């Protein structure tokens, strides 16, 4: 307790710095995933992606990022075990933020899209198992997370495959693709509106104290989807068939219609991502602030001050602007060539998987889901359309994430313990 009273201010300052660094990593690596398909398909430019992300990631993080956050993210640690030594929790959370931030920086430098969720989970498991005791870790929860590595990309890949096949059947492989695009794209826009509203209501807005049942969420989402569809139809009116462009590339005019659809999916994905993943950076930060504020009390839950969400949102935006282009290139262009119609199928498949997973309570990664969806699109076009070398590198970086986060956190944990104890 004395350590906390003595160094409380230093702990809070360090937590803010490390939390911002971790949020910066989330922006540089994870937001790039959310935007990769839109930029890769040339539906929007990198500049537009950054503007959309600034507005919607920040809005998602701040509005739906959490009024109350569980102190110990995702129930990985048993707080009772740390009640007698709260300073260990502070060292551990600081070490976890720093470790996850460093790993995200390394991964982003090489253009690997890794999971911020798994980075922070690996870090917390590492410090708890080695620094506290093996019993302090809820191993059942860790097992579920490992299972989600396989489940989420496979599910998104299957949905992406099915969606793109439907686009091929209804639009691309018909006598008049342009007329069919105008006819069916509003249906897809409705689907985007519905899925994303569901992501927001089921996964995001719980934090703001808005607890809707699944049925209520579905009903409101249908209303939102109809409004979004009408906006899409109005935007579509201005698109005319360009015979000259169609001579060069048969589906040029069709892809312009899908470009409008991608604008919606990009905004939606950014908002849903901001509301969901800001917690990876601010959860441990809120834990440290909570322990210092209560002078050593280890509570199961702690109030989430608004300034912490602002710090997290600011870090996310800074990371995307400064370093996001590397991972955007990997997800958007290096796995398989994307056009607006393919990018839409991948983004919607990823968003759908997030909704289904949040309904079942499975902790999944936006990264794994989106990469799985992009792979599904590549397979729908034939295996030759995939860059298997890039795919192999991504898979290896996924496997390395948990142990890398854990090892770095253990190292930082003992360094902090040595400095302050």
pLDDT by residue (tens digit) across 192-238? 888 778 766 765 566 566 777 888 888 999 999 999 999 989 988 88
- The 8-class DSSP code of residue 249 comes to S
- Collect the ranges in the chain with pLDDT lower than 70: 1, 33, 63-75, 79, 199-200, 202-209, 276, 296-304, 355, 358-363
Q: Rg for the chain (alpha carbons), in Å?
A: 22
Q: For position 73, what pLDDT does the model report?
A: 45
CA distance 228 to 219: 15
Show Cβ contacts of residue 309 under 8 Å, excluding neighbours closer than 6 positions. Answer: 61, 62, 65, 66, 278, 282
DSSP H stretches of helix in 175-251:
177-199, 214-236, 243-248
Q: For position 18, what pLDDT does the model report?
A: 95
pLDDT, tens digit, for every residue of 338-392? Answer: 788 888 888 888 877 876 776 666 667 777 888 888 888 888 877 777 788 878 8
pLDDT, tens digit, for every residue of 267-277? Answer: 877 877 777 67
CA distance 35 to 267: 9
At which residue do the structure tokens 């370093």 appear? 323
Q: For residue 257, what are its two tokens? A: 């219609």
CA distance 97 to 119: 9
Q: Where are the domains of the chain?
A: 2-420
Q: For position 227, what pLDDT does the model report?
A: 95
Interior angle at CA 99, CA 94 and CA 102, nearest 5: 125
CA distance 382 to 140: 38
CA distance 230 to 233: 5
Q: For position 190, what pLDDT does the model report?
A: 92
Q: For position 145, what pLDDT does the model report?
A: 72
Interior/surface letters 348-386, b for 16+ CB within 10 angstroms, e for the rest? bbbbbbbbbbbeeebbbbbbbbbbbbbbbbbbbeeeeeb
């Amino acid at each position: 307790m004395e350590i906390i009273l003595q160094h409380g201010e230093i702990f809070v300052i360090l937590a803010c710095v490390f939390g911002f660094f971790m949020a910066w990593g989330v922006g540089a690596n994870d937001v790039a995933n959310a935007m990769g398909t839109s930029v890769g398909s040339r539906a929007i430019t990198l500049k537009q992606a950054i503007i959309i992300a600034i507005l919607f990631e920040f809005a998602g993080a701040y509005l739906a990022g959490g009024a109350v956050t569980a102190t110990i993210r995702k129930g990985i640690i048993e707080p009772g075990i740390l009640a007698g030594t709260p300073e260990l929790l502070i060292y551990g959370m600081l070490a976890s933020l720093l470790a996850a931030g460093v790993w995200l920086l390394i991964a982003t430098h090489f253009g690997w899209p890794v999971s911020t969720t798994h980075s922070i989970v690996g870090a917390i498991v590492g410090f708890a198992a080695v620094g506290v005791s093996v019993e302090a870790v809820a191993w059942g929860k860790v097992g579920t997370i490992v299972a989600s590595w396989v489940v989420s990309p496979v599910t998104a890949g299957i949905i992406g495959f099915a969606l793109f096949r439907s686009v091929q059947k209804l639009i691309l492989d018909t006598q008049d693709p342009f007329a069919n695009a105008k006819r069916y794209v509003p249906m897809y826009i409705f689907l985007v509106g519905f899925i994303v509203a569901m992501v927001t209501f089921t996964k995001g807005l719980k934090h703001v104290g808005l607890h809707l049942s699944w049925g209520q969420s579905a009903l409101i989402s249908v209303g939102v989807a109809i409004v979004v569809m009408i906006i899409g139809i109005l935007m579509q009116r201005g698109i005319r068939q360009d015979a000259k462009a169609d001579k060069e590339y048969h589906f040029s005019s069709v892809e312009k219609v899908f470009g409008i659809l991608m604008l919606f999916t990009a905004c939606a994905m950014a908002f849903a991502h901001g509301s969901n993943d800001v917690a990876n950076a601010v959860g441990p930060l809120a834990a440290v602030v909570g322990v210092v504020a209560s002078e050593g009390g280890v509570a199961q839950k702690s109030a989430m001050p608004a300034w912490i969400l602002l710090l997290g949102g600011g870090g996310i935006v800074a990371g995307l602007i400064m370093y996001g282009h590397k991972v955007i290139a990997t997800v958007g262009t290096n796995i398989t060539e994307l056009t607006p119609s393919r990018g839409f199928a991948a983004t919607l498949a990823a968003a759908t998987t997030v909704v289904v997973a949040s309904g079942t309570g499975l902790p999944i990664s936006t990264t794994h889901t989106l990469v799985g969806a992009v792979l599904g699109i590549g397979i729908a076009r034939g295996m030759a359309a995939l860059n298997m070398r890039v795919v192999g590198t991504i898979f290896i970086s996924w496997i390395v994430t948990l142990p890398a986060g854990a090892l770095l956190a253990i190292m930082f944990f003992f360094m902090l313990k040595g400095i302050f104890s």
